[in-house]
Amino acid sequence: MDQSRWKTLWTLFWTFAKIGAMTFGGGYAMLPILQREIVEHRGWATEEEMADYYAIGQCTPGIIAVNVATFIGRGQAGIPGAVAATLGQVFPCLVIISIIAGILTNFAELKVVQDAFAGIRACVCVLILNAVIKLFRTDVVDLATFLLFLAVLAGAALTNLSPVLFVVAAGALGVVLRALKLDGRARKEGAK
């Protein structure tokens, strides 16, 4: 491999390692960080592509942020890029979890530790809400997508169905709605 290839792989690893270091709250809490770093700073994906990666990452096994790292890495540098980005994403998590597991068993009962985790959980809720608001603004663009959003929101809130079922159903409905929209346009243009 030439030097520029190694530099690309290192950049992928390091970028996702920085994101992975902010893993407090899990994959969903990383979504705004991923959005900012991948779309705004690096330009490795558009907002629409990130929304697609989130959807696919949600219905594939594993943590959504790791899946997104794999997709981005593959797009930037093929299979070696996917491996570098994925390793970058999980490496800090492994280190942090190992350290916390060693320390937490001894200090979990301390009030200051419990209070710190309560504060972190509140912060994570805000990060997740921020990601939802950004996705809503970019992806709910018309009445059809708004109604689909409401239907999935109600289904998720009122049932215990797997998120995979919602993603598959929404994808199928999106295909149908797009086909109907294109068919309606074709009829209008044919009538002119």
pLDDT per residue as tens digits for the range 41-69: 999 998 888 888 888 877 777 788 888 89
Q: Are residues 74 and 94 in the same domain?
A: yes
Averaged pLDDT score across all residues of the chain:
85
Q: Are residues 81 and 22 in the same domain?
A: yes
CA 92 to chain centre: 18
Listed in sequence order, the residues at least 6 apart from 116 whose beta carbon sits closer than 8 Å to its beta carbon are none
Q: Are residues 132 and 148 in the same domain?
A: no
Q: Are residues 65 and 156 in the same domain?
A: no
Q: Are residues 29 and 115 in the same domain?
A: yes
Q: Are residues 19 and 108 in the same domain?
A: yes
Judge whether 38 and 48 are in contact, CB under 8 Å.
no
Alpha-helical runs (H) found in 41-162: 47-58, 64-107, 111-139, 143-158
Per-residue pLDDT for 25 more than 70?
no
Q: Are residues 150 and 134 in the same domain?
A: no
pLDDT band of 123, cuts 50, 70, 90: confident
pLDDT above 90 as % of the chain: 29
Per-residue pLDDT for 155 more than 90?
yes
Q: What's the mean pLDDT in 84-101?
A: 88
Q: Please tell me the total count of domains within the chain.
A: 2
Residue 56 belongs to domain spanning: 3-139
Per-residue pLDDT for 103 more than 80?
no
Q: Are residues 79 and 170 in the same domain?
A: no
Using only the alpha carbons of the chain, give its radius of gyration. 20
Q: Are residues 70 and 160 in the same domain?
A: no
